[in-house]
Amino acid sequence: MKVIGKDTERVDGLALVKGKPVFADDIAIKDMLHVKILHSPVAHAKILEIDTSKALALEGVAAVFTHKDFTPHYYTTAGQGYPEPGPRDMLILDSTVRFVGDRVAFVAAETLEIAEQALELIRVEYEELPCIFDMEKAMTAGFALHPSEGTSGIHDVSRNVAAHLDAELGDVDAAIKTSDYVFEGTYSTPFVQMASIEPHISITWLDDNNRLVIRTSTQVPYHVRRIVAEVLDIPVSRVRVIKPRIGGGFGGKQEILNEELVAAVTLKTGRPARIEYTREEELFAARLRHPELVTFRLGFDNNQMLTAIDLNILENCGAYGPHALTVMSVTAQKALSMYKAPSIRVNGDGVYTNLTIGGAYRGYGAPQAFFPLESLMDEAAEQMGIDPIDLRLKNVFQVGDDIPIAKILGEGREGFPMVLYSTEIAACLNQARELSNWDQLRHQQQTGRFRKGLGVAVAGQGSGIPGIDMGSAFIKMNEDASFNLQVGATDLGTGSDTALAQIAAEVLNVSVDKIIVYSSDTDLTPFDTGAYASSTTYISGSAVKKAAEICREMILEQGKKLLQVESAEIIDTSVVAADGASMSYQDICTKSFYTEEQVQIMGTASHMSYDSPPPFNATIAEVEVDTLTGVVRVIKVVSVTDAGQIINPKMAEGQIEGGIPQALGMALTEFMPFDEKGRPINLDFNSYHIYTALDMPELVVRFADSHEPTGPYGAKAVAEIPINAPAPAVTNAIYNAVGVRVKHLPVKPAQILHDLKL
Ligand code: SMO
């Protein structure tokens, strides 16, 4: 292959490094209004009275919106396919607020400063209501956070269960009873945040034809179009969503977050409007990873083979349920797609609390699964007297295996049968073992204040949502043998435009600079469900490949017509007949435009897949524990990934190197504490500590040789997989160093000191 597997330059690289105005906020529009939201200061209350007269009277205020301005229309902010799998439990503005940060009102003003002043002039009288802050008490609170009237899709309103799932294959209780070993443990993961560099920004205006244009930092332009049209009761044909370059999403932008508010301002005032979340708002009024309390029971026989996996999930949705069902489904699916066990069972409840809203965050439920699963595998290996790498090697799914959970548990729908066509997890483990010096370092005897340890974990993810995700592509040829590639797929900083260009270039026999990519604009690019669930390379990439193949076929056909021959083939960038006559791409396209056989050479295609081949990862972490302070330092992380054929090694490495610090943050430094009134505390990056360059360990990142037969050129996904295994690898390393088993993230030095066994 000429282009696939090579480090081509990013198609948007130069513009990005030169600081060109490529992001949502990088445009100047005249007469723009600035929108600010009044967030609830209380965790649960009825709005008895809301007086906006003083705010409206302030000079420069164009509009103030309260719940009285909207007819109640329940929707979900989750940017997912239709019909949405989660509950419709949210209004644009409601007369009840359910968490500190909930929307009470919003204002539009001539300047940001005036908008902020106006917020302070809005008088709200709240009647405070009892709160639920503890997810374990949500189902028995005795009162409901949401009404049953008007809402839909809430699993059990009275018990505050947003979503529920249960599934069983085989007889788990019987299998556990007859197992030679049973290991059980309950683990939890905290609220953590994507911390994208670019916050949520949306700008709206009316075009010449009175259509609503939404320029927004989103992963899901088509879902934005559908949902905004629906909640504001305007036809889809009147909405255009433009996605420029995006400064990171990680799931946080798989959400219709503020687009509907600015759109309402523009529709009411006829003027352009803009909203930008501050960093503080990002941390309390955007979305965070759902905390989960997860219990696993693992049964093993005397040969150290799994007999049963029993999984119980309690998911904290916060005040509303976007992604409630599907995140929990992914927790179950990914946990039960790693190891072969004859009997498997999952029970899960996603419950409402009066806390900030859980949403999509890279891994999408899988990190919550692999932290407990891989911790328990570590414990099992020790108790059964087998090396933890060897225990995993014995139990992982192999090529040709059915993944039974895939059939019974889809993302919000029934699943599809799935066979594993590619896995190099064994190669990943073996390579990680070597690169980390596992066999030497794992058993070193230690004394003194600082103790080192090594821990391993494995993980899987998916490549798109089977039977749901769909991408499409349009390619047209230009007379200089360049091609426009238009995709609905949403590059959010990952480099997917470049990967898609490489796929098109490979098919068309041209260099990547001949592919002009445009993503995405709902007026100009064909439909795509969006950039989530690690779907872009696998799903949208397959659409690009098909479209390019159609285009290539058309070049050949046009070439044959123009050469007046029956048979010919494409060699480099010419069509060459059997008798040696040939015509270049340029000539074929130019003639096709202007003189003979006139036609536009183009190709268009869609792709959907019932397969979602899992990428796999093996991570080994080396840590040093300070036995005087309990502080853990990660020294080195070895991460080996099977992502199928790698399209662009540098960019794939970038995905892994970006995922590891996010995972280490969840393991060691990130969490969102709330005070006794449900107010979030860590609202800036001084107190909410994401992993920075200064914290980073040495990274060793490798890819296994792999080929996925169902993927474009053998590719699987690489976006989410790196975030799953590092946390349990670190906590297993802590156990190896000092004998402390961490069950609740993030790691707390005080707990290490308390539990220390030296
Ligand atoms: S968490 Mo991603 O947007 O599936």
Task: Give the 3-state secondary structure of 558-577.
Answer: HHHHHHCCCCEEEECCEEEE
Reported as a pLDDT band with limits 50, 70 and 90, residue 635 is very high
- Where does 627-747 show beta strands of DSSP type E? 632-642, 698-703
Q: Give the position, in ligand 1's atom list, of the atom nearest the Cα of 249.
A: 3
pLDDT of residue 455: 98
Helix runs in 603-725, H state only = 649-664
Beta strands in 95-198 (DSSP E): 96-97, 103-109, 123-128, 161-169, 181-189
Question: Which helix or strand (DSSP H or E) is residue 259 part of?
Answer: helix 259-269
Which residue's alpha carbon is at the smallest distance from atom 3 of ligand 1?
251
Ligand 1 center from residue 361 Cα (angstroms): 5
**Most ligand 1 atoms within 8 A of CB, residue of 77, 334, 532, 666 to mutate:** 532
CA distance 573 to 355: 59
364 lines ligand 1 (CB under 6 A): yes
Cβ of 532 closer than 6 Å to ligand 1, yes or no, is yes
Q: What is the pLDDT of residue 529?
A: 98
- Confidence category of residue 653, pLDDT binned at 50, 70, 90: very high
Between the CA of 318 and the centroid of ligand 1 the distance, in Å, is: 18
Dig out the tokens for 25 from the structure: 């906020």
More confident residue, 414 or 264: 264
Q: How far is the CA of 462 from the centre of ligand 1 (A)?
A: 11
Asked if residue 364 has pLDDT above 80, the reply is yes
What's the CA dihedral at 61, 63, 66, 71 to 10 degrees? Answer: 180
Question: Which is higher by pLDDT, 557 or 411?
Answer: 557
pLDDT tens digits, residue range 69-96?
999 999 999 999 999 999 999 999 999 9
Joined together, the tokens standing for residue 607 give 């792709």
Residue 721 confidence (pLDDT) above 90: yes
Q: Determine the average pLDDT of the residues in 721-742.
A: 97
Report, as an integer, the average pLDDT of 363-376: 98
Q: What is the number of the ligand 1 atom nearest to the C-alpha of 251? A: 3
Ligand 1 centroid–CA 363 distance in Å is: 7
- For the CA of 533, the closest atom of ligand 1 is 4
Binned at pLDDT 50, 70 and 90, residue 411 comes out as confident
Chain center to CA of 649:
21
Mutation to probe ligand 1, out of 362, 496, 655 (largest number of atoms < 8 A from CB):
362
Predicted confidence (pLDDT) at residue 414 exceeds the cutoff of 80: no
Is residue 444's pLDDT more than 90?
A: no
Average pLDDT over residues 466-474: 97
Say how many Å lie between the CA of residue 484 and the centre of ligand 1: 28
Token representation of residue 599 = 């036609």
User: Quick one: tokens of 585?
Assistant: 């791409």
The model scores a pTM over 0.95 = yes
The band of 413, judged by pLDDT with boundaries at 50, 70 and 90, is: confident
What CATH code is assigned to 288-465+611-755?
3.30.365.10
Tell me the per-residue pLDDT of 676-694, one tens digit each, with 9 for 90 and over. Answer: 999 999 999 999 999 999 9
Q: In what order do the strands lie in the sheet with 602-608?
A: 515-518, 483-487, 470-477, 602-608
Residue 415's pLDDT is what?
Answer: 81
User: What is the pLDDT, as a whole number, of residue 408?
Assistant: 87
> Across the chain, what does the average pLDDT equal?
97
pLDDT digits 0-9 by tens, 298-319: 999 999 999 999 999 999 999 9
**pLDDT, average across residues 700-722:** 98
Domains 288-465+611-755 and 470-608 agree in fold: yes
Q: Per-residue pLDDT averaged across 438-448, rounded?
A: 90
CA–CA gap between residue 631 and residue 614 (Å, rounded): 35
The number of the ligand 1 atom at minimal distance from the alpha carbon of 531 is: 3
Q: Using alpha carbons only, what angle is made at residue 26 by residues 25 and 29, rounded to the nearest 5 degrees? A: 85
Q: How much distance in Å is there from the Cα of 397 to the middle of ligand 1?
A: 24
Give me ligand 1 centre to Cα 314, in Å: 20
Ligand 1 contact via 361 beta carbon (within 6 Å): yes
Residue 425 host element (H or E): helix 425-435
362 lines ligand 1 (CB under 6 A): yes
Q: How far is the CA of 609 from the centre of ligand 1 (A)?
A: 18
Quick check: CB of 254 below 6 Å from ligand 1? yes
Q: What is the mean pLDDT of residues 466-489?
A: 97
Q: Report the alpha-carbon distance of residue 537 to residue 473 in Å, rounded.
A: 12
pLDDT digits (tens, 9 = 90+) for 448-469: 999 999 999 999 999 999 999 9
- The residue extents of the domains of the chain are 33-129+200-276, 288-465+611-755, 470-608
Q: Strand pairing partners for 313?
A: 294, 348
What is 33-129+200-276's CATH number, 3.60.10.10, 3.20.20.140, 1.10.510.10, 3.90.1170.50? 3.90.1170.50
| Contacts within 8 Å (CB) and 24+ apart, 577-585 | 583/559, 584/481, 585/477, 585/481, 585/510, 585/555
Tell me what percent of the residues of the chain surpass a pLDDT of 70.
100
Question: Is residue 330 lining ligand 1, measured as CB closer than 6 Å?
Answer: no
pLDDT score of 757: 72
Distance between Cα 621 and ligand 1 center (Å):
25
> Which residues does residue 472 pair with via DSSP β-bridges, in sequence order?
606
3-state secondary structure (DSSP) of residue 471: strand
Predicted confidence band of residue 539 (pLDDT cuts 50, 70, 90): very high
Q: How far is the CA of 418 from the centre of ligand 1 (A)?
A: 21
Beta carbon of 533 within 6 Å of any ligand 1 atom: yes
Nearest atom of ligand 1 to the alpha carbon of 534: 4
Contact 498, 468 (CB under 8 A): no
Cβ 251 under 6 angstroms from ligand 1? yes
Q: Which architecture characterizes domain 470-608 according to CATH? A: 2-Layer Sandwich (3.30)
Out of 364, 496, 538, 666, mutate this one to test ligand 1's pocket (max ligand atoms within 8 Å of CB): namely 364
Instruction: Give 246-268 pLDDT, tens digit per residue.
Output: 999 999 999 999 999 999 999 99
DSSP character at residue 138: G
Per-residue pLDDT band at 584 (split at 50, 70, 90): very high
Tokens for 470, please give them: 């769909």
Taking residues 293-298, report their average pLDDT: 98
What distance in angstroms lies between residue 334's CA and the mean position of ligand 1's atoms? 14
731, 733, 738, 743: CA torsion to nearest 10: 20
SS (H, E, C) 282-298: HHHHCCEECCEEEEEEE
Tell me the CA–centroid distance for residue 607 and ligand 1, in Å.
Answer: 19
∠ CA 37-38-44, nearest 5°, is: 125
* The pLDDT of residue 598: 98
Q: d(Cα 561, Cα 611) in Å, to the nearest integer?
A: 39
Atom of ligand 1 nearest to the CA of 79: 3
Distance CA 346, CA 169 (A): 9
CA of 284 to the centre of ligand 1 (A): 19
Give yes or no for residue 396 having a pLDDT over 80.
yes
CA-based radius of gyration for the chain? 27
Q: pLDDT band for position 324 (50/70/90)?
A: very high
Q: Are 643 and 715 within 8 A, CB to CB?
A: yes
535 alpha carbon – ligand 1 mean position (Å): 9
Between CA 445 and CA 443 the distance in angstroms is: 6
